[in-house]
């Protein structure tokens, strides 16, 4: 169940775009989803020196609760760039600030959005400060384990994670 704090904090006005990723307005996220409007999002793979990828388990308070998902990410808010949204999401979801973003792909189109995917590198001993309204837990995974779990139990993952992982894991 999406709670009031999450609705106010997470589901504010986000950028909606046309088929060429040109901004055409801003709208509440839940309304944009309901109306099938194309949106902008930023997704971040957080990696460490042991070639592991951090995944998050979405909290019970957000859309698609309980599913494993990208390290961090979300929609681009009105007035933001893809990079600004990525930095905001890293801070809000994991407490990470002041790290260089490495763009892996820009304006990648899927059925629901245009996404810019970033990668950051942090030490494996990094302590994350997660927001319980967004994230239930985080854990490091080896790529081969993610591949195996995506293949055998895809229902554990958000559909967006699966499509992003399958398209771009080779760049990590």
**CATH number, residue 124:** 3.90.79.10
Mean pLDDT for the chain overall: 92
What's the structural domain count of the chain? Answer: 1
Distance from the Cα of residue 10 to its chain's centroid? 12
Residue 10 pLDDT grade (very low, low, confident, very high; cuts 50, 70, 90): low
Q: Is pLDDT of 2 > 50?
A: no
Stretch 71-97: mean pLDDT: 96
Contact assessment for residue 86 and residue 42, using Cβ atoms and an 8 Å cutoff: yes
For residue 1, pLDDT beyond 50:
no
> Percent of the chain, pLDDT > 90?
84
DSSP conformational letter for 128: P
pLDDT in tens, 92-150: 999 999 999 999 999 999 888 999 999 999 999 999 999 898 999 999 999 999 999 99
Q: What is the pTM of this model?
A: 0.90
70 DSSP assignment? -
How many Å apart are CA 108 and CA 158, to the nearest integer?
17
Residue 7 pLDDT: 47
Residues of the domain holding 133: 4-171
């Amino acid at each position: 169940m999406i709670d009031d704090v999450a609705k106010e904090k997470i589901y504010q006005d986000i950028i909606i775009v046309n088929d060429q990723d040109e901004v055409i307005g801003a709208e509440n996220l839940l309304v944009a989803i309901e109306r099938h409007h194309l949106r902008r999002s930023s997704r971040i793979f957080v990696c460490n020196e042991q070639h592991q990828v951090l995944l998050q388990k979405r909290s019970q308070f957000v859309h698609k609760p309980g599913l494993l998902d990208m390290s961090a990410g979300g929609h681009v808010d009105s007035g933001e760039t893809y990079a600004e949204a990525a930095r905001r999401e890293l801070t809000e979801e994991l407490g990470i600030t002041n790290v260089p973003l490495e763009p892996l792909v820009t304006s990648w189109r899927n059925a629901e959005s245009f996404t810019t995917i970033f990668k950051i590198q942090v030490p494996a001993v990094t302590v994350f400060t997660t927001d319980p309204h967004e994230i239930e837990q985080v854990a490091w995974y080896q790529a081969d384990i993610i591949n195996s779990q995506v293949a055998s139990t895809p229902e554990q993952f958000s559909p967006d994670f699966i499509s992003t992982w399958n398209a771009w894991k080779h760049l990590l």
